[in-house]
Structure 1
Amino acid sequence: MDSRIGYDDDFYAWTQEQARLLREAARERLNTPIDWDHVAEEIEDMGRNDRRAINSHLARIIEHLLKLEFSPASDPRSGWRKSVREQRAAAVDALADSPSLKGHVDLPSAFRRGRGFATDGLGQDRVDEHALPSECPYGLDQLLDEDWWPVNRHDLV
């Protein structure tokens, strides 16, 4: 990895590179009282937190897109749309700060989580969980596209 990755260019890549460099410095036994391994681990964890946040945003987007697509209820559709917009904005912002995170998106895991959330919510609308897809029907570009929405299976807008 290029050690010239800037903090402002790609935060996630920067955290991973800084952790690697700190561990390398620790192996060289520089004579300083710094707890190199733990400092490296903390910096690395900052990047992992961003990675988890992206996947969490995607799970919420998936949850509400599934509800918008499969629910026969007209309410609370506007709340689901608002949630999707908010989560999309957060995910897009995080990916803009750390473009390398796009390669660390775990869409199958985000889908499993989002589908589980949707199943819980759709149960009150009497939507059978078996009606929902078993694999993510949405691509990452669709999930992040502020203008893309699935078509409702009950002709609701």
Structure 2
Amino acid sequence: MTIQLKQEIDKVYEEDYLLWLEQTAEQLRQKDIENLDWEHLIDEIEDLGKAQKNAVETYLRQLLKHLLLYQYWTQEKDYCADGWAEEIDNFRNELEILLRSKTLYNYSASILEATYQKARRSAFKKTKLDIFPSECPYTLEQVLDLDYLPE
């Protein structure tokens, strides 16, 4: 690939990302591997994986936070339990889609405790109450179980 062609590809990538995606997809369909923008293509594929992992962690953190609020913030439960339960359901539904991937399921299992610590801090900041267990009181199966609500 010439320097000029590389500069043109870089310009398209920087200025018109959608066009770059369309051109790259067409090059892959045509098996035009010599003109592929390998550098950016590799970066984009890696970023897709990172984005999915970030989504798993975000949904898991929010789900754990709402499970904690539901179970332990008893002063607010009469007023907020339905809303928390709805949020728990929403986060579980989002995770169910992502965790169809065995890799992401295993990733969620590997980050459960660390993510719980973040959820616990967030729940503490919301309530200003030191009422949440120091270690995750839920198994991954409970966290993901569509019918499970802690009492």
| Distance in structure 2 (CA, Å) of the matches to 1:35 and 1:113 | 38
Q: Give the 3-state SS of the residue equivalent to 2:117 in structure 1.
A: helix
- Report 1:94-113 matches (<5 A): 94-96=98-100, 98-105=101-108, 106-113=111-118
| Distance in structure 1 (CA, Å) of the matches to 2:137 and 2:117 | 12
| Distance in structure 1 (CA, Å) of the matches to 2:69 and 2:99 | 25
- Report 1:3-152 matches (<5 A): 32-72=34-74, 73=76, 74-96=78-100, 98-105=101-108, 106-123=111-128, 128-129=129-130, 131-151=131-151
- AA aligned to 2:37 is D
Shift of 1:32: 2.0
Deviations 1:1-32 (A, max 9, x none): xxxxxxxxxxxxxxxxxxxxxxxxxxxxx972
Shift of 1:95: 1.0
Matched residues, number: 116
Name the % identity: 29
Cα RMSD over matched residues? 1.6
Q: Runs of at least 4 residues of structure 1 off by over 3 A?
A: none
Q: Give the 3-state SS of the residue equivalent to 1:75 in structure 2.
A: helix
TM-score by length of 2: 0.71
| Distance in structure 1 (CA, Å) of the matches to 2:65 and 2:122 | 6
| Distance in structure 2 (CA, Å) of the matches to 1:116 and 1:143 | 18
| Distance in structure 1 (CA, Å) of the matches to 2:34 and 2:58 | 39
1:121–1:43 distance in 2 versus 1, CA, 3 Å? same
> Paired residue for 1:16?
none
Gaps of 5+ in 1: 1-29, 152-157
Gaps of 5+ in 2: 1-31
TM-score by length of 1: 0.68
Deviations 1:88-117 (A, max 9, x none): 000011112x22211112112211221122
